[in-house]
Structure 1
Amino acid sequence: MKDNDKDSLRSPCPPVTGAGGDAVGLFGKGKYKAWALAAILLLAFWSMLTGTVTLNFSSHRHGLLLLPDDLVETPLREDLDPKDGQGNSETVQGAIDMVSDGNSERIKILIYPGIYREKVIIPITKPYISLIGTGQGDTKITWNSKASDLDSTGNPIGTYSSATFAVEADYFCAKEIVFENSAPVAVPGAEGEQAVALRLSGDKAMLYRSKILGTQDTLFDNQGRHYFFRCFIQGSIDFIFGNAKSLYQECTLNVVTTSYGAVAASQRDSPTEDTGFSFVKSRILGSGMNYLARAWGRYSRVVYAYCRIDGIVRPDGWSDWNDVSRRSTAYFGEYSCSGAGAELGNRVSWAKSLTYEEAQPFMSQGYINGNEWLML
């Protein structure tokens, strides 16, 4: 269960416009070759890593984050390394703090392999930040807060503030970064065990080949438009949840529970909210018997298309959050999925077996208006 007091969560952003008009679907009945699609997607991602700011990283500084001296504000200039003229930070938060408020250029922060034990926040005033792993080993940012932990006033911090890594700013990008909440495994039904690894509250975020690890409420996909490409997301109960409008393409969703759980929980509460989760050509595997999604919001919206689903999904597939009235308002659908867990014969009657025409708007980058921002 989420925090009952929704006032503790950031209110949803204004509704986003539709799916981008005549945007072409990712899977167009054989019209496009796989290599061409991959090239386009990688080009879009690379454009988010490149920009007007050029960094020259020093490879001998293992485990440090490096920023060039022209990005380090005057009060921190004493921290510059005299050998290479670069500002160094031994923490992720320290590197982010070096970025000027109101930044309008793509800032790239290279993070060397290692374990960074800290809570990190990118405030709304620092857009266009890219975190880049080296690809030479896990670069992990980890902490162990959970919703029932107490703050300095003696009150529970809640799900929202349990996040190991929180992004408030727009145009965030991550490549080959591990975001983890290492709190103990949540027991189904237990109170206050929500433990967020990553919270995305900004608009136009993209993650590529990154891992998001936890158990209950791993990824708080809170608000905005987000694109996850070839990411690994692990959890047990509602481990992808929130009111964002997100496309998950070629991702692995790993359920870690010994009993029951759920992959997604969309908070969409109104038919006018243009939000929901779309999983395309992804893999669902793991343990236990699980729902594909639960209707956290009255108008919850979740779609799976071209996904391979292992036999860890309950035959009925979907949950109404113990509110039968949501059966007529939630939008849960599947299209052309495969695997032992994709059998539709015993699905709940109120879920949809989509046609191609019904599924197509959810399968393109146009679903998140990606043609407008993925190249920025």
Structure 2
Amino acid sequence: MTVNRYDRAPFKARYDENGYLEDSPVLTRTGVFEYRDGKGGVRRELRRAEDVFSEDSLSSYRNKPITKGHHGKIDAATVKRHQIGTVTTHGRQDGENVISDIVIHDPRVIKQDGWKELSVGYSVDLIEEPGEYNGERYDAIQTNIRVNHLAVVPVGRAGNARLNLDAADAATPTDDDEGELTMKKVRLDNGIEYDAAPEVAQAYDQARADLGDATTKLEQEKARADAAELAKKEAEGKAEQIKQDAVDQARARLELEAVAKEHKVKFSEDAADRDIKVGVIAAVRGDAVDLKDKPEAYIDAAYDYAVADAGKRRDDAADQRKKATSRADGAEPKSGGGSADARERMAARLRGEKVEDDQ
């Protein structure tokens, strides 16, 4: 079974004229290493000398990227985002250790964060064969060790894999119970990405999730408030319409009753509008009409016609009286004049005054 592993190991480092950090540190060692199994348990795996110092394994260190923390397997698609340096030579055996030359092009992780230990990211084939090595129990053996990258971390697994810094440059590393630090990519709202420790990334993700929940709840409350305001306005509009309808109905009833009284139609206070209209129609037309089975639209139209007809008759009668009055006064009203004007001219003549139309 082939799996990925991360081992950590300090270097007598120096800064060159460009500010790059160079060292030849211990990167890993032989022996038994502990790994978390993801279920709260621990696996103990043996790294034998013949596997650690095999030519294929040692040559796999050369030209591998150095990263801040682990980001899983590094390849051509991801190296640009994570690389801060390079392993420049093959691995070399030094007793039970492997050393190599490295350069860190971006040493801020050491200067600012105080990280100074190293952890190798690699793939292995596991032989599921438990046993004991120098008095230590193990569950499996690592073979075919192939390096993928080297990470700078707060605490290294190998115990002796750290940068060889002078006391003035060294910083106390952060205690890491897991013995491992895998960096995570955090993307800000403005699009900027940066690497953060898992707990920072987790806290940031939780904060974003909490903000999302709060925003959702706020939008829901706003929607409910908007719906309540809309319902209130609709209710107010309906109430106003009901009020206006009541006023219109009352006015129409008063007008109907006034027309009925004008035509001497008798009705009770609780008489239906239809019955009053039928009475007005009969009074205007002066004949017996059978409107019993007629629909409301017919009654309304017949009523409007009867009222209009009665009004026309009244106006015609008024015109006839006006003409009769003008002839009795002895003068024909001029166009645009009326009976009142004729009477005024007659009165002026009786007083001996000269009237404009007299010859």
Q: TM-score range, shorter-chain basis? A: under 0.3
**TM-score, with structure 2 as normaliser:** 0.20
Structure with greater Cα Rg: 2
Structure having the higher helix fraction is 2
Structure having the higher strand fraction is 1
Query: Which structure exhibits the higher relative contact order, with contacts defined as CA atoms closer than 8 Å and separated by 6 or more residues?
Result: 2
**TM-score, with structure 1 as normaliser:** 0.20
